[in-house]
Structure 1
Amino acid sequence: MGEKVVQQIRRSTVLVAVLVLFWWLSTYNSLVERFYSGKLFPVFAIVGQSITAWIPFSLGDCLYLLGILVFLVFLITIVVNLFRKNYSTALVRALKALNMVFVLMVCFYLFWGMNYFRLPLEKRMGLQMEIGESCELLEVTALCIERANSFRKQLKETDLQISNEAIFLKAQNLIASNSTLQPYIFSYLPTIKSPITNLQVNYTGVAGYFNPFTQEAQVNTSMPIFSKPFTACHELGHQAGIGFEDEANLIGFILCTESKDLLFQYAAYYNAVFMLLNQLAFQDRDAYFNMLKLIDPAVLNDAKEEEAYWRRFDGVLTHASSKFYNEYLQLNNQPEGLKRYSRMTKLLIAWKRKIAADF
């Protein structure tokens, strides 16, 4: 066995040992909460956001593209060396590529990814998650429909013509100044950016995403405007150390409802309504159809517009992206996969319980 092969194997061993250490730590939520999310993650958040907040474009997108190109080069060189029967060189290249993957995994969990294993937000906020009666689901759904209808009627055409930059700025100011959430999140320089291009984002069916390597939150700026405020606040929740998707949804809801902006308030209840209805359709089909009758036609038209928008890009890439992300979530302490998003309905009901009349 060549010296270069042995050297790469040694590096692999060290990197795997570090990943095993992360895995061991992930089994102790209280340790993750106290030492990682409470002390180490804020350091990486401060450093990362201090660097990238002032860059006007998505640095993370550029790095992703560069990473894809690098791995393509490695793949080509491996295939070429195998074809030429340079097996030792091909093995070294393959081990280098594997080690690059291990390095990226270490960086992912070190910079942000361990937040997937912190104490659940429901415990930190003291939320009672036991929901024994369906009447609570009906009550919250009806309330959210009423609020969505009301805010939609108050929206003027000028409210729907607000720029992406203005939406981003309002969302950033909301999370920076929100006293309700400050004990549960770490917000330093909240920043939202547009993707370098929305085209690939549309075809993967993504409304927004967070880059854990560069601490950047991105929002798809070409989707219908009534979803942008909620998505922006959701991604800022991830940037602030919230890992679970349902928890980021709750963060987005709280931020939007505490805004004085009509579009933000509408976005909160609009998104909540259809998450709640999905849960209701699963539990009680008759109640689901009865609730649909309560929704204002303008709100339903917004939902149809959004559905039509995403349908334009539905295809092989969308389904492949969904499958990949579903498995990614399952690997990171969310066994429900993409269904984790809909768990926000339980958090929403528990949140209403806690704040009662202020909901």
Structure 2
Amino acid sequence: MIQKKYILPLLLLIQIIVLKIASLFPKFIEEYYSNGMYPIISKISRTTFGFTTLSIGDIIYGIVLFLVFRWFWKVRKTWKISWKDNLLKIVSFASVFYFLFHLLWATNYHRVKMYEKQEIEKEYSIEELESFTIKLIEKTNVIHQQITKDDSVKVVVPYSIPEIFELSIKSYESVEKAYPFLSYEKPSIKPSLISVPLSYMGFGGYLNPFTNEAQVNDRLPKYNFPTTTLHEMAHQIGYASESEANFIGFLASIHSEDMYFQYSGYSFAVKHCLRNLERIEEGRSEKFLPLLNPGILKNFEESKRFHEEYETFLEPIFKTFYDNFLKFNKQKDGLEGYSKFVGLMIGMERKNGVRS
């Protein structure tokens, strides 16, 4: 008979094997988890933890980290003697963490890809990317001019964070009319209590998989805030892929009735198109910059200053960790996946055109 201390470590190995096998059947996961079990779990989580604007998930993380550090401190002197038992306790903790992580949210990493479900051809030529970039620039310029009445003035979002969260919910109500699979219920959107550390790590927000709270970095430049919020909400409705969450955030923002949200979405998309052009060939995006209203470039400069303000040696460390985490979860592009949504945008534009 297996001793109790070996049960959880053994279950971790079994979980990993079972999940690897299940990931080979994304249609099964799509039907029975992403569209079956997960919507029920997520609504319960958001109902349970969404009653307050306080980030319960951040508090839980803080308590768990405190207990972990306290445990390490307590066993520090006996580590050499009891290293085997201590190691088993660590693996047992990892086993429980792994189980809850995938039960409550992360199995969505292995669902059917959005481009397959929506029959989107996401590959594109350089010519298509350049043409699409011009269309986005034209649209962004128009919205920028409507907001500021002066093409040299940057956009300043006049809303408070709670107001942006309310408008984000309305944006999903609007986009759901065009894309019913993007239905969003039971809001639980909050400014993160660890926004400063998130800024130093280079992240705009995160979804807490254990409480299903959408955590948004409240230090972000306000013009970026709507699209970032919509991105985290996309994770809440079961889209784990960063490229898909970016794509959904873009769709939700441009379908919003609010011009500031539309500007956030279109300027976000322009920035990623320009980055993709730079990846193809250094300097290739420069010819498009004069096409942008000077005020839009000032918003881009605002984002650049924000990242420079919080830039430290820690950011590449955390991003390397997260890049490998994404790849381990079958997101082969890692952090590059954030810009891979450009292919989804171009593919959708082929089908439907850029929304006007």
Q: Please indicate the TM-score interval, normalised by the length of the shorter structure.
A: over 0.9
* Deviation for aligned residue 1:11: 2.4
How far, CA to CA, are the matches of 2:12 and 2:348 in structure 1? 41
1:118 aligns with 111
| Residue range with higher mean Cα deviation, 91-100 or 307-316 | 91-100
The 8 Å contact of residues 156 and 223 in structure 2, kept in 1 or not, is answered as: no
The 8 Å contact of residues 176 and 182 in structure 2, kept in 1 or not, is answered as: no
Query: Percent identity over the alignment?
Result: 27
Look up the SS of the partner of 1:319 in the other structure.
helix
Look up the SS of the partner of 1:74 in the other structure.
helix
* Deviation for aligned residue 1:320: 1.6
* Deviation for aligned residue 1:285: 4.8
Q: 2:90 aligns with which of 97, 113, 117?
A: 97
2:145 aligns with 153
Q: Tell me which amino acid in the other structure corresponds to 2:206.
A: Y
2:18 aligns with 21
| Residue range with higher mean Cα deviation, 112-121 or 178-187 | 178-187
1:234 aligns with 231
Q: Which residues in structure 2 correspond to 1:149-188 (within 5 Å)? A: 149-156=141-148, 160-180=157-177, 182-185=179-182, 187-188=184-185
Q: 2:244 aligns with which of 229, 232, 247?
A: 247
2:135 aligns with 143
Q: Tell me which amino acid in the other structure corresponds to 1:163.
A: S
2:260 aligns with 263
The 8 Å contact of residues 42 and 186 in structure 1, kept in 2 or not, is answered as: no
Query: Are residues 136 and 178 of structure 1, via their aligned partners in 2, closer, same or farther at CA, if it must alter by over 3 Å?
Result: same
* Deviation for aligned residue 1:17: 1.3
Q: Tell me which amino acid in the other structure corresponds to 2:11.
A: V
RMSD of the TM alignment (CA)? 2.0
How far, CA to CA, are the matches of 1:328 and 1:158 in structure 2? 35
TM-score of the two chains, using structure 2 as the length reference = 0.93
Query: Are residues 186 and 12 of structure 1, via their aligned partners in 2, closer, same or farther at CA, if it must alter by over 3 Å?
Result: farther
Q: Choose between structure 1 and 2: higher helix proportion.
A: 1
The 8 Å contact of residues 214 and 233 in structure 2, kept in 1 or not, is answered as: yes
How far, CA to CA, are the matches of 1:39 and 1:189 in structure 2? 17
Kindly indicate whether residue 71 of structure 2 is the aligned counterpart of residue 74 of structure 1: yes
How far, CA to CA, are the matches of 1:106 and 1:55 in structure 2? 27
Q: Which runs of 5+ in 2 are unaligned?
A: 149-153
The 8 Å contact of residues 279 and 342 in structure 1, kept in 2 or not, is answered as: yes
How far, CA to CA, are the matches of 1:241 and 1:201 in structure 2? 22
Deviations 1:161-181 (A, max 9, x none): 211110011102222453256
Query: Are residues 285 and 16 of structure 1, via their aligned partners in 2, closer, same or farther at CA, if it must alter by over 3 Å?
Result: closer
| Residue range with higher mean Cα deviation, 178-187 or 30-39 | 178-187
1:279 aligns with 276
How far, CA to CA, are the matches of 1:263 and 1:273 in structure 2? 15
* Deviation for aligned residue 1:53: 1.1
2:151 aligns with none
Q: Which runs of 5+ in 1 are unaligned?
A: none
Q: 1:335 aligns with which of 332, 335, 356?
A: 332
Give the paired residue count. 351
Q: Tell me which amino acid in the other structure corresponds to 2:140.
A: A
How far, CA to CA, are the matches of 1:244 and 1:77 in structure 2? 39
How far, CA to CA, are the matches of 2:20 and 2:183 in structure 1? 23
| Residue range with higher mean Cα deviation, 35-44 or 155-164 | 155-164
2:298 aligns with 301
Kindly indicate whether residue 220 of structure 2 is the aligned counterpart of residue 223 of structure 1: yes
Look up the SS of the partner of 1:253 in the other structure.
helix
The 8 Å contact of residues 190 and 239 in structure 1, kept in 2 or not, is answered as: no
Q: Which residues in structure 2 correspond to 1:23-42 (within 5 Å)? A: 23-42=20-39
The 8 Å contact of residues 190 and 213 in structure 2, kept in 1 or not, is answered as: yes
How far, CA to CA, are the matches of 1:108 and 1:185 in structure 2? 23
Look up the SS of the partner of 1:209 in the other structure.
strand
TM-score of the two chains, using structure 1 as the length reference = 0.92
Query: Are residues 145 and 273 of structure 1, via their aligned partners in 2, closer, same or farther at CA, if it must alter by over 3 Å?
Result: same
How far, CA to CA, are the matches of 2:16 and 2:174 in structure 1? 36
* Deviation for aligned residue 1:134: 2.2
Q: Tell me which amino acid in the other structure corresponds to 1:160.
A: V
How far, CA to CA, are the matches of 2:22 and 2:229 in structure 1? 31
